[in-house]
Structure 1
């Protein structure tokens, strides 16, 4: 591949790597990973609420990696509250798993920055074989995308297998018990998924830079030298 095309390709992969870094930071800083509807089961059972009356006992919840909020309705109107995961709520969750998710994301955006740096180094042609070439960029993209994917998978496992939403909804609820009616992943979660996908795109683009196209050679006309040319 010609040098200018290779530099253009590395510039594009650098932009994608930096975009992945931004996506992870935004997803970690926002608190809309999961939203759901919660039902105050205790309150509904106390008054034997029927289907039309259950609306008065339905609230909402949202949360991310570091905090969230909920609207609880137990027949006496809605009450809003906010909470933080650290330092108290994390003790009610699967602490190791939650901390591992955050660590995976921290490692992922660190490797995304390293991948960005390697792309820049290859654009300006730094003469060090250890850090020059597509193999180095591919390595860091594999690590960054892999850790982001592990974080996403671990979070899904926490939500589905460890009843994360229900544990958060019932945090510091001594009288009422809440059950989850519906839960869905929101934009912050999908930003993290997109970050992992970006590195997958980079892994598809990087091998293109190793393709060697045949050089185009112009055919030179053979000069016919005659005796008259030699004389003059």
Structure 2
């Protein structure tokens, strides 16, 4: 492939990586991953509430990987609250949360590193060096970390009932039960960025570079010939 076409492909990949980097940093820093509603069971049972009366006992919250906010209601008016995993919920959150924190930092580093490589190759002549194909596949690591962050966070929410634990944090009198949960903007931003990294891998392959773990046919043929000689 001509060098000019390679530059165009690298610039396209750089633009996608730049958009992805902005989306990832914004998504990880906002509490817009999950929106949940929860019912104050204790208050509803005390007054035997039903139908529209349950609205006075319904609270809601939204949270992300690091912090969140919400409103508790137990028949006596709204009580807004804010929380952060560190240091508020260190003893309450499951181990998966700590692992997802680790992969989220790797995701940010991988996205920014991949962006720098794409831009450097798009406006320079680095793609002529042998080290380039290996460095260009750094975004693949970032994409894998993004996938792991989504899986770990979803398991925390669904398996470990994270929303219910947060709703009952420091609530000795009232007990809350989660009614509904849905993934919101930031979660889907990470999901889209995962596919962007996959698309960047296809663009690199389109530019003529082989994956680091793929061996060329010429090398395999040479190895076979050498083995036959001995």
**Alignment check: 8 A CA contact 2:121 2:127 kept:** no
Q: CA RMSD in A?
A: 1.6
Q: 1:89-168 residue pairs with structure 2 within 5 A?
A: 89-94=89-94, 96-123=95-122, 124-126=124-126, 129-133=129-133, 135-137=134-136, 139-168=137-166
Q: Residues 121 and 132 of structure 1 are in contact (CA less than 8 Å); yes or no, is this contact kept in structure 2?
A: no
**Residues 173-212 of structure 1 correspond to what in structure 2 (within 5 A)?**
173-210=171-208
Shift of 1:56: 1.2
Max Rg structure: 1
How much does 1:132 deviate? 2.2
SS at match of 1:62: strand
Counterpart of 1:81? 81
- The CA distance in 1 between the partners of 2:29 and 2:11, in whole Å, is 27
Task: Provide the TM-score with structure 2 as the length reference.
Answer: 0.85
List runs of 5+ in structure 1 lacking aligned partners: 212-232
Q: Which runs of 5+ in 2 are unaligned?
A: 210-230
| Structure 1 residue 66 corresponds to structure 2 residue 66 | yes
How many Å separate the matches in 2 of 1:192 and 1:146?
Answer: 11
Q: What TM-score, normalized to structure 1?
A: 0.84
1:33 CA drift (Å): 0.9
Q: CA deviation at 1:122?
A: 2.4
1:117 shift after superposition: 2.1
The CA deviation at 1:129 is: 2.9
3-state DSSP class of the match of 2:126? Answer: coil
After superposition, the C-alpha distances for 1:87-136 in whole angstroms (9 at most, x for unaligned) are 12131111x31121121111012111221222233230137734324x43
